[in-house]
Amino acid sequence: MSLLSPTKPEPKPESNPEPNPAPGHTSGTAPTSGTAPTAGTAPTGSAATTGSAATTGSAATAGAPAATPASATPRLLSALREDLHVVVARDPSVRGAKEAVLHPALTALWAHRVAHRLHGRGLRIPARLLARWARRVTAVEIHPGAVLGRRVFIDHGAGVVIGETAVVGDDVTMYHQVTLGAVGWWSDNKRPEGDRRHPVVGSGVILGANSTVLGPVTVGDRAVIGAQALVNKDVPGGARVLAPTAVIKEPGRRPELMEDVFTVIASSGSW
């Protein structure tokens, strides 16, 4: 027995020198000496409490809003590395990582990754200054408060605007002149403070050139928003939103050419 548990039999002969009453008193004194174990059990209890707190924390994490399609924010260097690899993988004009570093949209994304972290820590002025610098250099305007998921790819980048409360999921591809904006101040000023004003874009979405998504709408996963499409309503996952294509006029209609041009311009509202 002493080989199996050498420390356990030793306290018994030391604590009970009397033959019969000592065991009774030993069990009686056990609570007294048990105060140390009680103190020992207190950390155990607190550990259990801590464990329950961790469980509660995990429950709170599990209860996070499902409307946010972006995954958990990775470490900064990991996010920057993923952005670099995405440019190499999705832009056929880029031949390698060294060339990808010169991609203008990559500069905008990297600047936003840093600005967003500054914004989240309450450093709003430095975050805005960094975002303004990125806009000046790349022609891409991303508010520091916008949430961008992993492996977001902005091709060309020129004219892209992403508003403050916009949320962009993972593996989203957007082309130049994409706008994820609000409806306007006349509508936003009526919303309670903290309400979302900009779109939520799910994972795997493709936003074509000059497409516009306005207001607190949701674009489902793997949806495709075609070039020049205007979206102001929710789009289900996997759906395609296509703008009307240009009308081709047959040759030989020269007298009506100018009239047709003015009709198209007036009907599109772009004047």
What's the chain's average pLDDT? 76
**Which of the two residues, 17 and 238, has the higher pLDDT score?**
238
For residue 166, pLDDT over 70 is answered with: yes
pLDDT of the residue at 48:
38
Stretch 80-88: mean pLDDT, rounded?
Answer: 88
Give the percent of the chain with pLDDT over 70. Answer: 65
Domains of the chain: 76-241 (2.160.10.10)
For residue 99, pLDDT over 70 is answered with: yes
For residue 94, pLDDT over 70 is answered with: yes
Q: CA-CA distance, 69 to 72, in Å (whole number)?
A: 10
